[in-house]
Amino acid sequence: MRSSQNWATKRRMALSRQYSHVTLTETDAPLIAEIAAAAQRLKGVALRTPLLPFRDGSYIKPESLQPTGSFKIRGAYNALAKLSPEERSRGVVVHSSGNHAQAIARAARLLGIRAVVVMPNNAPDVKVAGVRADGGVIVFVGPHNVERVAKAHEIAEEQGLVVVSSANHVDVVAGQGTVGFEIADQLLDLGVEGDAVVLVPVGLGGLSAGISTALTRADRTFHVYGVEPELAADTRASLAAGERVEWASEDTARTIADGLRGEAPAPIPFELLKKHLSGVITVSEAEIVEAMKVAAREAKLVLEPSGATALAGLLGHRWDLPNGTVVVVASGGNVDPERYVEFLSGGAREVETTA
């Protein structure tokens, strides 16, 4: 590994101090360059969330502290900022269970773009309220992802809107990848050396694809693991099969982690995950709820079930991971207050929920 002095010198010479330790290579240079450009666009829009010390030398990166309550603002704003003037004038349409919807509504408001959002009729009230607060026009459909996708494309065709996928979009993946650049740089700033393990919740795969790709260019070894609910383990199944495996929406709908209910990893992220992800850990509903409780009690963080899933991976499966400093990406904190109290005072319901 290069010395800290050489690394710091390299950083000062680069365009961006925060991300200069990333080295471009022929294989991933285009996407790495897009991630670096996204980092510049996101200044003043997305927070550079801290690494919070946790148990046994591990850290939590609380993306729940972002302005819209999740990491999604990174990819959403980056994608909308790159639209042409003609595309901006037409407006955008997205399909989302909530966090991408909120992020698109916020980015659209900031950029003066009309946004139509297709959401499931069981989306958490807090996420619906967030979209409306930023002026997004909501169209509700049934609870399954396939319904949202179909309706969004129908609206796009009817109204001439631009579809912005929550994961299957290079500019979205690039925006999410800035989380990886920050992690590498922050560990350096903290003086942490040696191998590191990063745990990332995985649904359609945009966040895990962006982070795992970004970290392949850091000057140390990173092992990036996706963490997903046992009740929606389509990414683990897909990686094992070497191709995208689709789960029935009735099955994935059972998990309380509403942001991770996609039936299969999106095509663009999946190609990156096959190259860069070290593996996938699955966690139970009870482990997710326990992680929410631990986050509140020990880290003073309010996390939604999806946002606590990676922490559940650390709490219940540390022995399954390689040696190294562990960083947990706490992806979001948008949870209805009543449901949050229920989770913290009761337990997980292993059946279909209204989360």
pLDDT at 7 over 60: no
Is 127 catalytic? The answer is no
Q: What is the pLDDT of residue 124?
A: 84
- Distance, in Å, from the CA atom of 48 to the CA atom of 17, rounded to the nearest integer, reads 13
**Helix axes of 267-276 and 234-241: crossing angle, nearest 10 degrees:** 70
Tallying the residues shown for the chain, one arrives at: 355
Residues 153 and 175 occupy one common structural domain: no
Residues 143 and 269 occupy one common structural domain: no
Among 20, 58, 70, 72, the one annotated catalytic = 72
Confirm whether 38 is domain-assigned. Answer: no
Q: What's the pLDDT tens digit per position in 74-123? A: 999 999 999 999 999 999 999 987 899 999 999 999 999 999 999 989 88
Biggest CA–CA distance in the chain, Å, is 57
Among 97, 165, 166, 331, the one annotated catalytic = 97
Q: What is the pLDDT of residue 217?
A: 84
For the chain, how many structural domains are there in total? 2
Residue at a domain's end among 99, 132, 163: 163
Q: Is 197 exposed, middle or buried (0-12, 13-18, 19+ CB in 10 A)?
A: buried
Is 97 catalytic? The answer is yes
Residues 339 and 190 occupy one common structural domain: yes
| Residue 153 belongs to domain spanning | 72-163
Confirm whether 46 is domain-assigned. Answer: no
- Mean of the per-residue pLDDT values for the chain? 89
Q: What is the pLDDT of residue 24?
A: 39
Residues 217 and 76 occupy one common structural domain: no
Where residue 4 falls among pLDDT bands split at 50, 70, 90? very low
Percent of the chain with pLDDT over 90: 79
Confirm whether 351 is domain-assigned. Answer: no
Confirm whether 2 is domain-assigned. Answer: no
How far is the CA of 252 from the CAs of 136, 238, 289, 329, 350, in angstroms?
27, 14, 17, 22, 11
Confirm whether 4 is domain-assigned. Answer: no
Confirm whether 10 is domain-assigned. Answer: no
Residues 256 and 311 occupy one common structural domain: yes
Q: What's the pLDDT tens digit per position in 50-79? A: 999 999 999 999 999 999 999 999 999 999
Residues 137 and 183 occupy one common structural domain: no
Cβ neighbours for 207, distance < 8 A, ≥ 6 positions apart: 71, 176, 179, 200, 201, 329, 331
Where residue 12 falls among pLDDT bands split at 50, 70, 90? very low
Pull the structure tokens for residue 265: 């990893």
Residues 189 and 80 occupy one common structural domain: no
Cβ neighbours for 236, distance < 8 A, ≥ 6 positions apart: 226, 228, 280, 282
Q: What is the pLDDT of residue 347?
A: 52
Q: What's the pLDDT tens digit per position in 175-232? A: 999 999 999 999 999 999 999 999 999 999 999 999 999 998 888 999 999 999 999 9
Residues 121 and 266 occupy one common structural domain: no
Confirm whether 34 is domain-assigned. Answer: no
Pull the structure tokens for residue 216: 């392949």
Q: What is the pLDDT of residue 97?
A: 77
